[in-house]
Amino acid sequence: MNRPWVLLVVAAAGGVLSGFLGVHGLAFLGAANTLLWLCATIALGLAKGTRGEKALRLSMYGFATGLSFMCFGYEGDAALITRLLPFAVIGVFCAVCALAVGALVHLVRGAVGRQRSTGG
């Protein structure tokens, strides 16, 4: 298994684990969970790879985190299967947010690298 696929699997598994821990293990943190998810997103974005590999990895992490967080936290009366589509939409939103964080990290790293190379 080559490195991009390993990182993709790690991103998916990490997203599911992040979603689970956000509901059960670290629920006491409340909204501070988003800071942990942000750190994980930044770490995945800083891992080596092409832009496409990073985008896929970040999207996978965001989607897996959002979907698993909603599924693990669901306590409604209706069957979970009936809620998968709305939860998947939330997962897509989380994937877009992870991509946005990755793009921001990319821009900041580029600016810092340019500043270092010019001696500023």
pLDDT in tens, 76-93: 888 889 999 999 999 999
**What CA–CA distance (Å, rounded) separates 63 from 47?**
18
C-alpha torsion 64→66→69→74, nearest 10: -120
Count of CA atoms in the C-beta half-sphere (13 A) of 72: 19
Segments in the chain below pLDDT 50: none
**Structure confidence at residue 115 (pLDDT):** 66
Task: Decide: pTM greater than 0.95.
Answer: no
